[in-house]
């Protein structure tokens, strides 16, 4: 029985020792935190600083910017209109000049009773080499209407 009593007494004694150690650690931590608080001077109440909103200044700057942008667009629009006006005047002048140049003039009526027959050139350089000379100038058609003969290419 003595063994059982000694085991339970050791357990109880160990529990008491653990509790004492735990309380000592907590007390030491609390003392150190209290001592740090006591060493620092108490904080004064802070007064809020007055602040200034810059909305009015920003509104004035924005109005100036908007005015500058609108005047810039207005000037660009005026310049664009002037360029278009100048271009239109140049085109109208060109049309007038073309109309003056393109005045229809009377031309001689062709002779229907004497058809135009081109003459052979007298230069030897203009002759075609390797082809037979044709008496008729209707080379593209397979039949010559004036000769009434079938041409062979």
Quick check: helix, strand or coil at residue 150? strand
Domain-embedded: residue 29: no
- 151: burial class by Cβ within 10 Å (0-12, 13-18, 19+)? middle
pLDDT band at residue 1 using 50, 70 and 90 as cut-offs: very low
Instruction: Please compute the mean of the pLDDT values over residues 4-12 and round it to a whole number.
Output: 64
State what percent of residues in the chain have pLDDT above 70.
63
Highest mean pLDDT among 7-21, 25-39, 50-64 belongs to: 50-64
Strand partners, 144: 149
Domain count, the chain: 1
Domain-embedded: residue 105: no
Boundaries of domain holding 87: 54-100
Tokens 């150690």 sit on residue: 21
Domain-embedded: residue 87: yes
**Cα–Cα dist 34/51, whole Å:** 38
Quick check: helix, strand or coil at residue 40? coil
Query: Looking at per-residue confidence, does 106 or 70 come out higher?
Result: 70
pLDDT for 89 beyond 70: yes
Domain-embedded: residue 47: no
Domain-embedded: residue 138: no
pLDDT for 15 beyond 90: no
What are the pLDDT digits (tens) for 34-74? 555 567 777 888 888 888 889 999 999 999 999 999 999 99
Domain-embedded: residue 111: no
Domain-embedded: residue 96: yes
Domain-embedded: residue 7: no
Q: What is the pTM of this model?
A: 0.34
């Amino acid at each position: 029985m003595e063994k059982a009593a000694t085991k339970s007494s050791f357990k109880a004694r160990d529990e008491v020792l653990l509790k004492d150690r735990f309380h000592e650690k907590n007390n030491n931590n609390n003392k150190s935190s209290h001592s740090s608080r006591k060493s620092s001077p108490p904080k004064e109440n802070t007064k809020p600083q007055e602040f200034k909103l810059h909305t009015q200044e920003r509104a004035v700057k924005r109005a100036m910017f908007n005015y500058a942008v609108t005047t810039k667009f207005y000037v660009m629009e005026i310049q664009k209109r002037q360029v278009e006006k100048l271009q239109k005047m140049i085109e109208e002048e060109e049309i007038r000049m073309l109309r003056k140049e393109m005045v229809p003039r009377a031309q001689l009526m062709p002779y229907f009773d004497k058809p135009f027959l081109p003459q052979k050139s007298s230069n030897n350089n203009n002759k075609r080499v390797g082809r037979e000379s044709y008496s008729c100038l209707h080379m593209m058609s397979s039949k010559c209407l004036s000769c009434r003969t079938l041409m062979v290419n």
